[in-house]
Amino acid sequence: MKIIIISNRLPVKIEKKNGAFRIKRSEGGLATGLGSLETKAEQYWIGWPGIHVEDEKEKAAITKRLHKMNFHPVFLSPEQIENYYEGYSNNVLWPLCHYFFSYIEYKAEYWKMYQQVNALFCSESLPFIEDDDIVWIQDYQLMLLPKMIRDERAGVSIGYFHHIPFPSYELFRVLPEREEVLQGLLGADLIGFHTHDYMRHFMSAIYRVLNLNSDLDEINLQNRVVHIDAFPMGINYEKYHQAPTLPAVEKKTNSLKRKLGNQTNILSVDRLDYSKGILHRVNGFAQFLEEHPEYHEKVSLAMIVVPSRDTVDRYAELKTSIDQAIGSINGRYSKPGWTPVHYFYRSFAFEELIALYHIAQIALVTPLRDGMNLVAKEYLATKREEAGVLILSEMAGAAIELSDAIIINPNDTEQIATAIVQALTMPEEEKRKRLDKMQTRISTQTVKKWANDFVTELEEIKILNKEIVQK
Ligand code: G6P
């Protein structure tokens, strides 16, 4: 038995320098979880390598090197990227699932290419898949793939995990291809979501769109049962908790502390995305500065925005608006020796990020919608002797587990401003109590557990479904 992971992106970074390709593993949350699966089964990972390659010889050379790492690349053309990735995935499904209905840009080519690229992932994967394998498909870019694989490999065990929110039926119904998308997912034996709410929304769509006979967590098809469950994704807690003690991190922490002096530091880290509520957060911070001059020169916000999808128009526009909003706050409130917002538009190395988490007394995590949000968990995990306060949006999947954070509605900038004051004035004892509870949770519900729970349930279902077929 093998485990075959299929996701839009492979966990690698490939760069071309002086005519030669450099391949580096990128250790995202998913890669860490899968790397720690408690199984002897060999693992393969199939996905887009994130780089455009025209030349067939170069493609073959990259493929050969990736195969040595048990990765298989699915190369995409600029047209496929434009219509499948930027188009249907990120201009239709992403805004739909994050409740940005008015951001949906619909074009017929998007859907056509989404189908075509899902079929390409299928044909690239099939040579790797044998009957007793487990296939685990990741996320909204590949919602048609479970059925496509099922049609070709009836007996194989297929799982699908949806990493983003699943919207309420009233929103999902606007999708012209709602039926095909749901049918695509039902090719899986197990469909996983981060929370029970997403699961409930999905079941309601199944009932109303497909009128299928369904239970709370099972959908009965003619010869199979599809199981639905909630698996909240976590992080590698120990890695984040121990990281502040690494010499390289300690050095960075000390240097940052020296630079910041006695200032209280609030941290915010996101990928550039309108779903993250970055502008609302900046406005909330501006309101805090406006209403509380007593904190001027004492508190600053370090705002990290990691570049992402900047070829999609909405993202490019958002970047301009964030630049303007931060420029306007700094222009208005800065004083010699104090800049209210330190803004970084770039990605950070792990050590730098940990140092920033570690010195931040407060983390401001206020997405308008977020499937889970692992930044909140990473921040809490880095806390050791000094506690920290998490201000967290109720619209993040993580809010269900992290109810000891200061929970806010991210649309309410006044609430953000009030929460900042509450965090700044919170007694140490209360901070510690809240942190302990949340650390207990995230140190148990780790990414390793997430991956193992999913695969174990999939294996159990495989046995159950075999019994049904034999009957
Ligand atoms: C979210 C999605 C992932 C995606 C990631 C980065 O977390 O759930 O599927 O890979 O964002 O986005 P990108 O478009 O750069 O792959």
**Cα separations in angstroms, 416 against 49, 117, 343, 412:** 39, 42, 19, 7
Listed residue (397, 107, 137, 424) closest to 295, CA to CA: 424
CA 393-397-400 angle, to 5 degrees, is 85
Q: Hey, which residues does 24 pair with through a beta bridge?
A: 13
C-alpha dihedral (323, 326, 328, 334), degrees to nearest 10:
-140
User: Which ligand 1 atom lies nearest to the CA of residue 89?
Assistant: 14
User: Which of 10, 27, 163 gets mutated to test ligand 1 (max ligand atoms within 8 A of its CB)?
Assistant: 163
Q: Structure tokens of 34?
A: 């899968």
Task: Find out whether the beta carbon of 164 lies less than 6 Å from any atom of ligand 1.
Answer: yes
Task: Find out whether the beta carbon of 50 lies less than 6 Å from any atom of ligand 1.
Answer: no
**Cα separations in angstroms, 415 against 42, 166, 280, 299:** 49, 26, 11, 18
**Predicted model pTM:** 0.97
Calculate how far, in angstroms, residue 251's C-alpha sits from the geometric centre of ligand 1.
31
Q: Whose Cα sits closest to atom 10 in ligand 1?
A: 9
- What distance lies between CA 400 and its chain's CA centroid? 16
Residue 260: per-residue pLDDT: 83
- What DSSP letter does each residue of 266-306 carry, written as one string? EEEEEES-GGGTHHHHHHHHHHHHHH-GGGTTTEEEEEEEE
Q: Hey, which residues does 456 pair with through a beta bridge?
A: none
Calculate how far, in angstroms, residue 139's C-alpha sits from the geometric centre of ligand 1.
9
Over residues 266-288, the mean pLDDT reads 98
Q: Whose Cα sits closest to atom 8 in ligand 1?
A: 163
Using one digit for the tens of pLDDT, what is the confidence trace for 405-444? Answer: 999 999 999 999 999 999 999 999 999 999 999 999 999 9
Calculate how far, in angstroms, residue 26's C-alpha sits from the geometric centre of ligand 1.
13
Using one digit for the tens of pLDDT, what is the confidence trace for 78-106? Answer: 999 999 999 999 999 999 999 999 999 99
User: Which ligand 1 atom lies nearest to the CA of residue 85?
Assistant: 14
Calculate how far, in angstroms, residue 140's C-alpha sits from the geometric centre of ligand 1.
9
Q: Hey, which residues does 45 pair with through a beta bridge?
A: 5, 71
Task: Find out whether the beta carbon of 370 lies less than 6 Å from any atom of ligand 1.
Answer: no
Please give the mean pLDDT across all residues of the chain. 95
